[in-house]
Structure 1
Amino acid sequence: MEKDGRRRTRMDDVAARAGVSQMTVSRVIRTPDKVAAATRARVNAAMAELAYVPDMLAGGLAARRSGLIGAVISTFENAIFAETIAGLTETVETEGFSLLLGASGYSLEGEERLLHAILGRRPDGIVLTATLHTPAARQLLVGSGVAIVEAWEIPSDPVDMAVGFDNRAAGQAMTAALLDIGYRRIAFVGATGGRDVRGLRRRDGYRVALAERGLPPREVGSAALPLGIENGPAFLDEILARFPDTDAVFCSLDALAAGILLAARRRGLDVPGRLAVAGFGDFAIAQPSGLDLTTVRIAGRAIGVHAGHLLLGRMSKVPLEETIIDVGFEVVRRSST
């Protein structure tokens, strides 16, 4: 009984309404292709009439499967992980899995809390967009016994499997590309705190590229996360105040680059004549149909697809040819430089 005295609709109610056995209802839910089309239609109609929601966990316990994939991303507040989640969802849904999604807010403690909640629901696999974890969170992951994929970075000591790219090398490549074009007074805009590990590695790559040419860094940013297009005007003001002769800006995210480019145009600054702007990610706003930003292209959807296949392979006990996948990156020059 529910708390208000109403009884929850059960599988035997659906079976009685459809005139079939409970086993047939179970087959329609779990292996519909093995049930005759007419019978399947009758059971589906009964479930719809009775507003029946299958208890996938109860059925999964017998099969030692919950049908859930947990995913913890760093933030919902910009599009950086959207394509990865889309690729992951499409891949695992083809095998009947559903995604349980949470955001850590770039907080190690937040990730740990989410892992407690997700693991309590007995997921069959977990994808994380962070590779830095609290000791307790790492212990939870290692002891969970489920397939784990860390994404968007290749960690030096992965918990299990990983799909990503070298953020430091990507930052270095973009900065080197700007130098090769002829820019010499390049500023970097991004996170300054320790929570955005990927952004800090892009900054490290920027520093390396400048040091190789004997040039000093020019860095502005904020420890507050997430950063987005709305931060662009303030960062542009800071760049022009501290480094007035800056001729190019490399941003750790396309959203930041978009904010700076739009703010520069409002101030009457010629882009790229007076100030070149480059971003990171190659999201919709950076593409030719958007602001036509020079950027680092990341195969975000491919990261999700690879992560899904790694999870499915591990869960099905299929031998995996590789468990660490580097999707690489590409510097794309457009009109903003």
Structure 2
Amino acid sequence: MSTPSKRPLTLRDVSEACGVSEMTVSRVLRKSGDVSDATRARVLEAAKTLGYVPNQIAGSLASQRVNLVAVIIPSLGNMVFPEVLNGINQVLDSTPLQPVVGVTDYLPEKEERVLYEMLSWRPTGVIIAGVEHSEATRAMLHNAGIPVVEIMDTDGNPVDANVGISHRRAGREMASAILREGYERIGFLGTKMPLDHRARKRFEGLTEGLAKAGVEVEDRAFYSGGSALAKGREMTHEMLERSPDLDFLYYSNDMIGAGGLLYLLEKGYDIPGQIGIAGFNGVELLDGLPRKLATMDACRAEIGRAAAEIILRRSEGDDEDAAPELIKLTPKIAFGDTLRRNQRR
């Protein structure tokens, strides 16, 4: 794993990369002055390749930094991320540092734009969800010259520090639990995988774990848009119409899992005797359901606290030259009332 640059890129770096003067680079990036289209294109390409972001506060602050921590997440509608933000805020609340949130909607091109704008204000650090990014985003993170913490996922190659869980391992552990309880005909319901890398990795871990026992996922369904109880009910109905012999349904998150649970109870299914179900995330809001949904805690608040502590230590000069921190947390399965079939025997 490469260590990110400790020095932010300057106009001179871009100038040397594209073979024009610093003044010309400045004119292009400030969108001012008379510069040919060819030169403008060459400068912009060099800046993007390097990951250079213009400094909007240059000259106004001697430190070239503001007491802001850029926090970039995929969604505010997903109940997972507010808990992460709460963990970050718990650590930073009594410090000069202030988290500022940007939302990407799981879109790589939007992540580039959000990061670009945030870095232009020279924050003290960046906390960003996931380890999969576009080349331009990785270049900006690598050359920002500030602490970067990628969170939620440890299955990948982080730019700098990394705090999260292994989603592939989470999928494998759920597969083991399903098999131990004697389920054999499995269905999977989740988000469209190109947009949600962590859900994809859990699905991959699930299929790997089942395959070791000679079991395959017999049916699967994917959706786009926000997670909702209604979506879970709808998908569960459609899947069981297609595959009525399934005896276990694994949902990529608790919200659609809760919708599935309500549908099954309404239709009179014996849970977990006839059919078992499980979700993911350990959302406490769903504790009031008629049955407690089996799930796995994603360590959300703990991830937020650990990431903020890394930013805080490094902003104070502690561990500046140390190797990037890699913190892998271990989620645990909560069996609830919908997975432990063997206890009923």
TM interval, shorter chain, is: 0.7 to 0.9
Contact 2:228 2:255 in 1 (8 A): yes
Map 1:315-334; keep pairs closer than 5 Å: 315-319=315-319, 323-334=325-336
Distance of 2:60 and 2:303 partners within structure 1: 28
Which structure 2 residues correspond to residues 156-167 of structure 1 after superposition, within 5 A?
A: 156-167=156-167
TM-aligned CA deviation for residue 298 of structure 1: 2.1
**For 1:217 and 1:289, how far apart are their aligned partners in 2?**
27
Corresponding pairs, count: 281
- When residues 89 and 256 of structure 1 are mapped into structure 2, their CA distance, relative to the original with a 3 A threshold, is same
State how far apart, in whole Å, the 2-side matches of 1:91 and 1:170 are: 27
Residues 221 and 239, structure 2, Cα contact 8 Å, conserved in 1 = no
* Structure 1 residue 306: Cα displacement: 0.3
Q: For 1:310 and 1:213, how far apart are their aligned partners in 2? A: 40
Q: 1:258 to 1:324 in 2, by over 3 A?
A: same
Change (3 A) 1:84 1:60: farther
2:122 is equivalent to residue 122 of structure 1: yes
How far residue 289 of structure 1 moved from its aligned partner, in angstroms, is 7.3
SS of 2:195 mapped into structure 1: coil
Give me the whole-angstrom Cα distance separating, in 2, the residues matched to 1:161 and 1:276.
38
* C-alpha separation in 2, matches of 1:299 and 1:288: 21
Residues in 2 aligned to 1:115 and 1:139: alpha-carbon distance in whole angstroms: 11
How far residue 192 of structure 1 moved from its aligned partner, in angstroms, is: 3.2
Partner of 1:277: 277
Report if aligned partners of 2:168, 2:204 keep a CA contact under 8 Å in 1. yes
Q: Does 1:178 align with 2:189?
A: no
CA-CA distance at 1:131 after TM superposition: 1.3
In structure 2, what is the equivalent of residue 39 of structure 1?
none
Matches of 2:60 and 2:305 in 1, distance apart? 24
Partners of 2:131 and 2:156 within 8 A in 1: no
CA distance in 2, matches of 1:150, 1:261: 33
CA distance in 2, matches of 1:317, 1:109: 33
Pair 1:291–1:103, CA change in 2 (3 A): farther
- Return the letter of the residue paired with 2:176: A
**1:290 Cα deviation after fit:** 7.4
Q: Does the C-alpha gap of structure 1 residues 248 and 213 become closer, same or farther in structure 2, counting only changes over 3 Å?
A: same
| Bigger Rg, structure 1 or 2 | 1
Amino acid at match of 2:283: F
Q: Out of 204-213 and 224-233, give the one that drifted further.
A: 224-233
Matched, 1:254 2:290: no
TM-fit CA distance, 1:241: 2.0
Post-superposition offset of 1:322: 6.1
TM-score by length of 1: 0.78
Offset at residue 160 of structure 1 (A): 0.7
Q: Deviation per CA, 1:222-270, whole angstroms, max 9, x where unpaired?
A: 2514333231112112221222111111111111111110111222223
Structure 1 residues not aligned, in runs of 5+: 1-56
Cα distance, 1:71 vs. partner?
0.7
Please report how far the alpha carbon of residue 171 of structure 1 lies from its aligned counterpart in structure 2 after TM superposition. 0.8
2:103 alignment partner in structure 1: 103
Which residue identity does 2:335 align to in structure 1? Answer: R
Superposition RMSD in Å: 2.1
